[in-house]
Structure 1
Amino acid sequence: MKLSSQIKPISYLKSHTAEIVKSITESREPLIITQNGEAKLVVMDVKSFEEQEDTMALLKLLAMGNQEIQEGKFRAIEDIFSELDNQG
């Protein structure tokens, strides 16, 4: 998380909700909410959240692919193209 993220107490969230929504939507910077001085949650805009979810999904696919390569679960590209040519 960026160090430039805003940090506010939960009371600020309760009393400035509309302002926070506008600010986060425009800046796309997350807001860290604290309770009793301890970080408890992060508020972020939907577009940033969706982009983060997409990035995580791609990283999981890459990790799975790397593991399959390490386990020898792959085929040479020439074999795949040859198989495709023979199907047509």
Structure 2
Amino acid sequence: MNISEDIKPISYLKSKTADLLKQVNSTHRPVIITQNGEPKAVLQDHESYEKMRNAIGLLKILSISEKEIKNGSAIDNDKALEKIKDKLT
């Protein structure tokens, strides 16, 4: 991994947008866009972005589940299936 390839100034983005898109889609590594030497944005390929969103969604579900188990509001599978069947009928 060459970090200099993954950090680009906004002027590079403006002049070489197609090249940057090709880079992020082929390497699947995000590129950090800087403005006045400060990181301001991240350019990422769609596939990696979707995988990241899905992973965050799963982590949120796990977090909610852990809280429900800790506070005693979780129910076992049999009761959950019963409730679902009742709602469907």
TM-score interval, normalised by the smaller of the two chains: 0.7 to 0.9
Which residue number corresponds to residue 25 of structure 2?
25
Alignment partners' CA distance in 2, 1:65 and 1:34: 39
The 4+ residue runs of structure 1 with deviation greater than 6 A are none
Alignment partners' CA distance in 1, 2:75 and 2:18: 54
The normalised TM-score by structure 2 is: 0.80
Alignment partners' CA distance in 1, 2:41 and 2:2: 15
**In the TM superposition, what are the counterparts of 1:6-45 in structure 2 within 5 Å?**
6-45=6-45
Segments of 5+ residues of structure 2 without an aligned counterpart are: none
**In the TM superposition, what are the counterparts of 1:45-60 in structure 2 within 5 Å?**
45-60=45-60
Deviation at 1:73, TM superposition (A): 0.9
SS in 2 for 1:42: strand
Please give the per-residue CA displacement for 1:38-64, whole angstroms capped at 9, x wherever unaligned. 000000000000000000000000000
Alignment partners' CA distance in 2, 1:3 and 1:62: 35
Alignment partners' CA distance in 2, 1:51 and 1:76: 29
Is 1:71 aligned to 2:77, yes or no?
no
The normalised TM-score by structure 1 is: 0.81
Deviation at 1:76, TM superposition (A): 4.1
Alignment partners' CA distance in 2, 1:26 and 1:70: 44
